Amino acid sequence: MAKAWEVLDTRSPILGNMAIVGAPYDDAKGDASGSAYIFAFDGTNWTQQAKLTGSDEVAFNNFGTGVAISGNMALVGTPGDGPSNQYLGAVYVFTFDGTAWTQKAKLLASVRDFNAEFGLCISLSGNTALIGGTKAAYIFTFNGTVWTQQAKLTSSDIQDTDYFGTAVSLSGQRALIGAYSAEFQGAAYVFDFDGTSWSQEAKLVSLDIAGNDNFGKAVWLAGDLAIVGAPLKDHNKGAAYIFSSDGTTWSQTTKLTALGARKADFFGTSVALPGTVALVGSQVSGGVPGVIYEYVLRRNVWTLGSQFLASGGMNGDNLGVSLAFSGATLLAGADAASIGGIGQAYIFSLARQH
């Protein structure tokens, strides 16, 4: 039976007619061993296609904390993997043959540190995966046969308390990695691949950065645009910041805040950048069960568009704790929704296809 707080993760859990939802506190193979669910869209309805578990997962592995899907491949993170209470982490690879999903590989970081929680978050683009934890992020590539670690990424000024790698986003030859506790304010780092190696390109911080902002708690990269969430900004009202690159320098262009922002809205808990649209999750908003705000770029100005709310939602549902999109479909997590707080994922239609 699934327990409370089943979590949908933030990056790449939906692609076309396939979606993956993580349930890291499911008791599939012991207390909080975790699981992940594949859903398929037939043009009318979304239906469960498969339930995934790791071949060797055990209690408290939290399989499903990080999830990603691309084509016929799904990656599922298990940050609790390893000896009891070590939280070294692992990522399982599954493929779909048209009939069934099958586990094909288990990925481990080259350095398995205590409390590293490798697999906490995953961003998948084609045959390249960016996998985060609490101390580093790793690039893995697939050559059609095997997965190989290509790089271990850490910031130039990393400290043990930074939580570098707890949010990741991959876009082409660039990676964006959040470190929400860097200097006890937060930061996000851009890395670039030159065809041979990955190197740090920039460190992003907001123009009004302050202590305990949690800047970098959520990140999303789309080419020369990046959005970074800071859900604890200004007494937990929250904010999200958009940055752009001119090819040489990254600069903040916009600060977004919730309409009628209140304390403990946690605006910026999740973020996404589908084209010329920015999506920001506010998991608690003015006493309602969470809101997802849409901002549209018009004449170089980000303007508030739609607001997405769950029908029948209740206070404390945490709608907007995670976001993903594919085309005109938005997938949003509400990790405390439903009876007993077991969690739900909601599908919304965006006005514009991306």
In-domain check, residue 67: yes
Quote the pLDDT of residue 342.
60
| Same domain for 48 and 168 | no
In-domain check, residue 350: no
| Same domain for 102 and 168 | no
User: What is the CATH number for 278?
Assistant: 2.130.10.130
| Same domain for 184 and 102 | no
Taking the alpha carbons at both ends of the chain, their separation in whole angstroms is: 37
Q: Are 267 and 257 in contact (CB under 8 A)?
A: yes
| Same domain for 162 and 148 | no
Per-residue pLDDT 10s for the chain (354 aa) are 233 333 444 334 666 788 999 989 999 999 999 999 999 988 889 899 999 999 999 999 999 999 999 989 999 999 999 999 999 999 999 999 999 999 999 999 999 999 999 999 999 998 999 999 999 999 999 999 999 999 999 999 999 999 999 999 999 999 999 999 999 999 999 999 999 999 999 999 999 999 999 999 999 999 999 999 999 999 999 999 999 999 999 999 999 999 888 888 899 999 999 888 999 999 875 566 788 999 999 999 999 999 988 776 666 677 878 888 887 788 887 775 555 556 778 888 786 544
| Same domain for 280 and 241 | yes
| Same domain for 144 and 252 | no
Quote the pLDDT of residue 138.
99
In-domain check, residue 5: yes
How many other C-beta atoms lie within 10 A of the C-beta of residue 286? 13
- Strands 301-308, 73-78: pairing is unpaired
Quote the pLDDT of residue 309.
84
From the number of C-beta atoms within 10 Å of its C-beta (0-12, 13-18, 19+), residue 122 rates as: buried
Question: How far is the C-alpha of 259 from the C-alpha of 330, rounded, in Å?
Answer: 21
Instruction: Give the pTM.
Output: 0.93
From the number of C-beta atoms within 10 Å of its C-beta (0-12, 13-18, 19+), residue 324 rates as: buried
| Same domain for 306 and 195 | yes
Instruction: Show the beta-strand stretches assigned E in 66-181.
Output: 67-70, 73-78, 90-96, 101-107, 121-125, 128-132, 137-142, 147-153, 164-171, 174-179
Q: State the total domains in the chain.
A: 2
In-domain check, residue 324: no
| Same domain for 174 and 139 | no
| Same domain for 222 and 76 | no
Q: Are 282 and 291 in contact (CB under 8 A)?
A: yes
In-domain check, residue 119: yes
**Amino acid letter, residue 20:** I
Tokens of 243: 């940055």
Which residue range(s) make up the domain with 246?
158-313
Out of 118, 135, 153, pick the residue that ends a domain: 153
Quote the pLDDT of residue 336.
59
| Same domain for 270 and 219 | yes
| Same domain for 191 and 140 | no
| Same domain for 203 and 117 | no
